[in-house]
Structure 1
Amino acid sequence: MDKQIFLYNTLSRTKEKFEPIHEGKVGLYVCGPTVYGDPHLGHARPAITFDLLTRFLRHMDFKVRYVRNITDVGHLENDADEGEDKIAKKAKLDELEPMEVVQYYTDRYHDYMKMLNVQNPSIEPRASGHIIEQQEVIKSVLDKGYAYESNGSVYFDVKKYNQDYPYGILSGRNIDDLISNTRTLDGQSEKRNSFDFALWKKAAPEHIMRWPSQWSDGFPGWHLECTAMSKKYLGEQFDIHGGGMDLLFPHHECEIAQSTVAHGKTPAKYWMHNNMITIGGQKMGKSLGNFITLEQFFTGNHEKLDKEYSPMTIRFFILQAHYRSTLDFGNEALQAAEKGLARLCEAMGNIDGIKAGTETTFDIKGFEEKCYAALCDDLNSPILIAHLFEGVKYINSLLANKASVSEKDLEHFKSIMNVFVKDVLGLDVVDKAGAGSENKLDEVMQLLLQLRSDAKSNKDWATADKIRDELQQLGFVIKDGSEGASWELK
């Protein structure tokens, strides 16, 4: 069986045979969250997509170093070079230190990823912990003549870069179009051209997050952190760079330009981008105000939700679509995913009750080959899931004595189902299938009690009381004790 993996490379706009730089090893860098608010469904998709990729590569015996960063400085409003830092703005609103905001939402991000059965990355660096490395990249770009200083800030000279290198090779953006679209803004800022991007920003007097540098007291540009951290942990060039389609331009395009100048090469051999989750055809995002948090999905506490959905339902819903296709949110689609997952869980729960016979009436080898072929073809999880439901039909036929399987083939078949359902797709089908199971209910309740505890710690009494009161209205009794809160049904 040929198990050669093909991945769609955004850089070449084609599926390419995956050949890592170092045989048997994979360096993977994925852009993680900017931690100034609760994770929503749009954050779950890249996390699950690259969790699937990592699980599959490891199953295929690759040693994977997976680096996923935390952005905790430099990401300004509207993804631009002007305005407030998103985290600093949140800190001012909540009367907290910026790093309190960072820690709180990083912890919550981790909690929700755990519920979605997303494995931890190998390394999770923070931008604020790599200021020196970012300053070194800036010095290199300045020394080579592709950046300039202006009033204490440093900007990448896109026009100069484009004379020597093709700017826009990832996104297909043409610099002439950028010039014509932004000419009216020229001369209105400290940039030579409005499409130049910040490597270092001089901090305004009221700006909370700042570090000393030879240029000014300031902070690094948003794009710079990934260039510096990927180089530190994966080298000047690594195998795969991943992230959401919304990061393709300008974030990833700017990364390529910075790295090409600083290190003499593009940072990654393959670029993978998951597509967006939409609501009514519009991208889900914090900046658009149309997002639904994972907490709201798990509790059903949102006007657009008909009910609560378990973490495994959300994971299955995302895996049912190919990662490069858009995925439109809807209650009907979620409930269909919930029913499909329930069928799969029931079959997996019954698989140990199958009795072996003398002959096999199912092409188990062909079934296995189709499962591998689906994922080897650019992680085609919906096709894999369709094949797994062929396995579900076979399980049900065996239980009804309408099919048979030899003892040797039964063990092989069980192994295939367990590998792809549990190990590769990461579906916790035993304990986490149904939203109404006791285990799932307790997980959700423990999460809510932790949210209430966090609110009390932050002296947010209104939120703490709201969680308690609304749970009581739903029939739950919350009891506070010396070892924390507990719950029980009325």
Structure 2
Amino acid sequence: MDKGLHLYNTLTRTKELFEPLQPPNVGMYVCGPTVYSDVHLGNCRTFISFDLIFRYLKYSGYKVRYVRNITDAGHLEGDRDEGDDKFAKRAKLEQLEPMEIVQKYTLGFHDVLRMFNTLPPSIEPTATGHIIEQIEMIKIIMDNGYAYEANGTVYFDVEKYSASYNYTILTNRNLDDMLANTRELGGQDEKRGRLDFALWIKAKPETIMRWPSPWGVGFPGWHIECSAMSAKYLGDEFDIHGGGMDLAATHHTNEIAQSEACSHKQPAKYWMHTNMLTVNGARMSKSAGNGFLPAELFTGDHPLLDRGFSPMTVKFFMLQAHYRSTLDFSNEALDASEKGFRRLMNAVNLLDKLVPAAESDFEIAPIAANCIKAMNDDFNSPVVIAELFEATRIINTVYDGKGKISAAELGKLKKLVSDFVFDIFGLKDEDASNTELNDVLEMVIDIRKAAKENKDYATSDKIRLGLQSMGIQLKDSKEGTTWNKV
């Protein structure tokens, strides 16, 4: 493989050398949440994955403009412009104004991502804040002959577009098969073609979220917002467009069509999609009863969970799988990730206690190089984690007095941990922020130390075994006593 960052492009279905349109600047657009309910775990995996990508691009020296939208208007229950307005439906259910629903779930979304220690995007535009831009884009698409108005609703003409462009370029589906598998138009249907989708939707009398337009009062279709906002903040052509793989077949396919029909340019150079979540081998979904909200996973308040798991444990679990691979949740897998994460954090906390020697039994540069190589190979976080566990082995070996490390190599080791554990992966030691727990344990360790000095070994052992039963292990060495969770 050539040197440099390679990423898998869903558009070409190949792994390609990443070449930004305007290096060193990178434009990245990721489809954000629809804020009418709590963010689900599948969303979280997507945003954690693109946070990793954002962090690594910045680490690699790129200046990144990361745009992640908030869908807060006009999203119907069906991808093909059918069903009820989800915001109005939720507002009626909770007896709130639609924008109260937006505010409530936007804040909840941000709270969850803060718990996962993700960086905020450069820009987080909302659909309701860009109605004018969406209307202007629809006008251009109509002027270019790829959309038509019918009774106050504007539809995109897929078959006319397909005569000039490849509508299925992202999924490689057969257009004739898609037409054959789409329902016949009813006599009252306003659409000219079976695959046509709405750019602007006429408001019903009961519709609450509505805006004036050249075609009457209505609201934008779901797909047009991303085309309009990505063009405004990243231009007609930009580098990376991302989201969950469930968006590729309809939402992202229609985004490409809208953007090309407007500017005659393919909007994104690289398309990236995260894979789905499964639970004990079955696809995760609310209807199947096996979908977790983040809060349920943290508290363990779900029939399929034996107990709760911390945000960093869940994040570490997600990073142990490549973003394009299926990720299967189970109690056993989460238990294993928790142990692995604690092992890593315990070693990290020993770094400042290592005493450098004149010579070194270890070289850190090959480990760091392997980490860079893995990240350059389509952000292969599982391989990086394997290398970090090799660093963990070195830390424990030196701390136990079974190996030596020089000051120069120790400096490299600390930089490796700082770069990959904290800066790129965005992990943090949750126990380190628990000052009350730290203070109590330090006091208990001092009591045990005094007991040992007074030859009160019964008390010393009672403290050690008692802490061990609570999942806290003490480790004695000539430098003193340390503790870690097991």
* TM superposition score normalised by structure 1: 0.86
Q: Does the 8 Å CA contact 1:7/1:15 hold for their aligned counterparts?
A: yes
Aligned to 1:284: 284
Match of 1:105 in 2: 105
Q: How much has 1:188 moved relative to structure 2?
A: 5.3
CA contact (8 A) 1:357 1:406 kept: yes
- Give the 3-state SS of the residue equivalent to 2:350 in structure 1: helix
Structure 1: where are the runs of 5+ without partners?
442-490
Deviation at 1:426, TM superposition (A): 0.6
The answer (yes or no) to whether the contact 1:73–1:127 under 8 Å persists in 2 is yes
| 1-structure distance, mates of 2:187, 2:174 | 21
Q: Please, which runs of 5 or more residues in structure 2 have no aligned partner? A: 438-486
| Residues 308 and 117 of structure 1, relative CA distance in 2, 3 Å threshold | same
Counterpart-to-counterpart distance in 2, 1:187 and 1:160: 21
Contact conserved, 1:42 with 1:285, CA < 8 A, in 2?
no
Aligned residue for 1:239? 239
- Native 8 Å contact 1:311 1:432 kept in 2: no
Aligned length: 438
The two structures, once aligned, show a CA RMSD in angstroms of 1.9
Q: Provide the residue aligned with 2:404 in structure 1.
A: 404
- Offset, 1:288: 5.7
> Does the CA contact (< 8 Å) of 2:70 and 2:127 recur in 1?
yes
Cα separation, 2, equivalents of 1:362 and 1:261 = 58
User: 1:339-488 alignment to 2 at 5 Å?
Assistant: 339-429=339-429, 431=431, 438=434
SS of the residue corresponding to residue 154 of structure 1 reads strand
- Give SS of 1:362's match: coil
Q: Which amino acid aligns with 2:233?
A: Y
Match of 1:355, SS? Answer: coil
Q: Report deviation, 1:305.
A: 1.1
For residues 247 and 431 of structure 2, the distance between their equivalents in structure 1, rounded to whole angstroms, comes to 35
How many Å separate the matches in 2 of 1:270 and 1:304? 37
Alignment of 1:77-156 (within 5 A): 77-156=77-156
Q: Counterparts of 1:180 and 1:275 in 2: how far apart (Å)?
A: 28
Range 375-384 or range 276-285, more displaced = 276-285
Tell me which residue corresponds to 2:456: none
Could you tell me which residue of structure 2 aligns to residue 75 of structure 1?
A: 75
Instruction: Map 1:171-210 to 2 at 5 A.
Output: 171-185=171-185, 187=187, 189-210=189-210
Deviation at 1:409, TM superposition (A): 1.4
- 2:453 aligns with none
Please tell me the residue identity of whatever aligns with 1:244: G
User: Match of 2:78, SS?
Assistant: helix
C-alpha displacement of 1:192 = 1.1
Q: CA deviation at 1:74?
A: 1.9
Q: CA deviation at 1:48?
A: 0.4
Deviation at 1:88, TM superposition (A): 1.4
1:236-269, Cα deviation, whole Å (9 max, x unpaired): 1111001000000100000000000101111111
- Report the Cα offset of residue 186 of structure 1: 5.5
Cα distance, 1:280 vs structure 2: 4.0
Measure the CA separation in 2 of the matches of 1:431 and 1:187.
64
Q: CA deviation at 1:41?
A: 1.3
- 1:175 Cα offset (Å): 1.3
| Cα offsets for 1:168-220 (capped at 9, x unmatched) | 00011221011111253454521112211110110111111111111121111
Specify the code of the residue in structure 1 equivalent to 2:314.
I
SS at match of 2:72: coil
**Cα distance in 2, alignment partners of residues 278 and 308 from structure 1:** 18
Secondary structure of 1:371's partner? Answer: helix
CA shift digits 1:153-182 (9 cap, x unpaired): 011000001111111000112210111112
Q: Distance in 2 between matches of 1:303 and 1:15?
A: 40
Contact 2:290–2:304 under 8 Å retained in 1: no
Cα distance in 1 for partners of 2:196, 2:295 equals 38
In structure 2, distance between residues paired with 1:398 and 1:439: 27
Q: TM (normalized to structure 2)?
A: 0.87
Counterparts of 1:145 and 1:130, CA distance in 2 = 23
Residue 286 of structure 1, CA deviation:
4.6
Q: Which residue of 2 aligns with 1:42?
A: 42
Distance 1:315 1:287 in 2: 24
Q: Residue 432 of structure 1 contacts residue 440 of structure 1 at CA under 8 Å; is this kept in 2?
A: no
- My pick for the range that moved more, 59-68 or 291-300, is 291-300
CA distances 1:73-101 after superposition (whole Å, capped 9, x unpaired)? 12210333011111111001111110000
In structure 2, distance between residues paired with 1:29 and 1:202: 28
Distance 1:118 1:31, change over 3 A: same
Q: Distance in 2 between matches of 1:424 and 1:124?
A: 21
Matched, 1:10 2:1: no
Instruction: Name the amino acid aligned to 2:260.
Output: T
